[in-house]
Amino acid sequence: MPLTNQQVADRAFLKGMYADGYYPDEVVDKGREILLRLCERIEAQRPADLTALYVLTHAATCEFNDLQDDFWEAGSEIETVARELIAEEFWFVADAYGFADADAEELIGTRDW
């Protein structure tokens, strides 16, 4: 399903991770896909409030949790820089879909990285 939010469609997700050779592109690609699927879910389900949005972002965060093994196998990890970059993308998504009052920590509340 093509994204209808042009701001999101034009976004180069995880650009900072792609620019850093420490993070393997093939694993970052998987993270980018998680974010795109999150956007697709938001557009399909149109969460009415923050509680509904957090259900979607928590599920996407759990997908990032599962990516940790892929990073480790590739000699990398979701460390401080990656945590910040991923969190910024979740905040961008929330804001782009009209949830500027979302709590940045709650968006990724299910993280274990």
What pLDDT was estimated at residue 34? 98
Nearest to 49 by CA among 84, 101, 14, 2: 101
Give one DSSP letter per residue of 40-82, joined into a string.
HHHHHH--SSHHHHHHHHHHHHHHHHHHHHHHHHTT----HHH
pLDDT in tens, the chain (113 residues): 789 999 999 999 999 999 999 999 999 999 999 999 999 999 999 999 999 999 999 999 999 999 999 999 999 999 999 999 999 999 999 999 999 999 999 999 999 98
How far apart (Å, rounded) are the C-alpha atoms in residues 91 and 58?
Answer: 13
Q: Which amino acid is at 40?
A: E
pTM, 2 dp: 0.96
Nearest to 64 by CA among 42, 83, 81: 83
